[in-house]
Amino acid sequence: MKDFFGEQLLLNTPSAQILYQGVRDLPIIDYHCHLNENELRNNHRFANLGELWLAADHYKWRAMRLCGVDEKYITGDASYYEKYLKYAEIFPLLCGGPLYYWTQLELKLLFGIREPLCAESAERIWNTANEALKTLDAAEILRRFKVEYVATTDDPASALAAHGMCGETNVCPTFRPDFVLNMDEAAIARLEGVVGYSIKTLDDVKKALETRLNFFITKGCHIADHGMDYLPMADCGEARAKELFSRRAELNAEEKQEVFSHLMYFMASLYAKNDMVMQMHFATFRNVNSAKFATCGRDAGFDIMRGTVDTDRLIPFFDTLAQKNALPKTVLYSLNPACVPSLATLSGAFPNVRIGAAWWFSDTVEGIRRQLETVAEYAVLGTNLGMLTDSRSLASYVRFDFFRRILADFVGGYVERGEYDLESAKKLMYAVCYGNVKAFLNL
């Protein structure tokens, strides 16, 4: 039996252990997250372990609901200590889930705590962690994990006043225009406020988006991100899109999709022009519990994966852009892992396209293994861009250690079976864990 969360965690062969040692201390490039840049700029110091873990982590919230915890102790008005105790109480039930690994790795790597979290150990762990947090501000946490680069997620109207260096970490914005492309009136009003003119026509919104994108680029932006429930349709054309936008308040769902799709073609062309990376996150079904959405709001743990996704829609999207030499470097993330094989083959037809990290519900031990297997079999493992956090929590940088261990075990298996040589494996590990994404983003 191996030591509890010891050095051989998830490393099941000697080759895996060798490969992991070669990448365990590499810097981190987090090319997609939801950290609050103001907390980084202000070098936020967490009051206690409850705030660090439970202020905004919908993974933990969802797990607590699954175990029957009352909402008072999740998003309600209970104290952080009370919420933490409830999490500690249900934590032993999470065997095999990613939260179990991440939580114990957070305790180990941030606080040096190797004790299993449970109701009996909760107070000891709380006291030890809180003592350590007195000297662990945001910059120190980033330094502890060797975070070199962070890409936050930002609305086009964001002022970007808090981006820049946080200690030794370069914090840069990501352009995320989802609400504008979906013709959300509040988002359009925010956009009007920063560009200084009314947005009445399709040309107005395109001009405003390009203006803001150029501003983002001056602030170090290399990446755009699009989250969507459905993939783009074929382009309806300029005339049709203008007509629809002019009466946007009365459009049905399909007509809104037409405008959204037309604007996606426009934005992709801008990204290609500026040598930016376009990320596309899809197959989500947002806020499916209406009553909970009304009380808890967005990003509270009530989003799920769609049962089916028409990935064939990406073919005309990419093909049309490629014919115009306007297809940017693109990273694809499907919340439904059943889509990944078709996406991996699609990436072979359009060399600018890569498959992203196993995302959200798929960033489990076996989910990451399946993603690596699929990329290796249907695309190219050695060009993979590695891990990201996609998180609102600074403690989530343990996910890179988690990924590096799983990748080392996966690649090490080929070495152990005599199917791959160790020296090539070492080079591949470095590329996937650090080199590829740094080159892809032109950092």
The per-type count for the chain, helices as H runs and strands as E runs, is: 20, 11
Class of domain 46-136: mainly alpha
- pLDDT of res. 25: 98
Q: What is the pLDDT of residue 236?
A: 97
CA 352 to chain centre: 20
In CATH terms, the fold of domain 14-45+139-440 is TIM Barrel (3.20.20)
Local confidence band at 264 (pLDDT 50, 70, 90 cut-offs): very high
Domain ranges of the chain: 14-45+139-440, 46-136
Q: Give pLDDT, residue 87.
A: 98
Q: Is 325 left (phi over 0), alpha (psi -120 to 50) or beta?
A: left
Cβ atoms of 356 and 384 closer than 8 Å: no
| Mean pLDDT computed over 306-310 | 92
Residue 230: per-residue pLDDT: 85
Q: Is the pLDDT of residue 229 over 90?
A: no
d(CA 251, CA 75): 35
Beta bridge partners of 169: 166
pLDDT digits (tens, 9 = 90+) for 214-227: 999 999 999 999 99
**pLDDT band of 204, cuts 50, 70, 90:** very high
Check pLDDT > 90 for residue 2: no
Residue 150, classed as helix, strand or coil, is: strand
Q: What is the mean pLDDT of residues 275-304?
A: 94
What's the mean per-residue pLDDT of the chain?
Answer: 97
Is there a contact between 344 and 379 (Cβ–Cβ < 8 Å)? yes
Q: Which pLDDT value is given to residue 60?
A: 97
Nearest to 386, CA basis, from 434, 347, 427, 440 = 434
Confidence of residue 198 (pLDDT cuts 50, 70, 90): very high
pLDDT higher than 90, residue 1: no
Instruction: Please report the pLDDT score of residue 407 as a whole number.
Output: 98
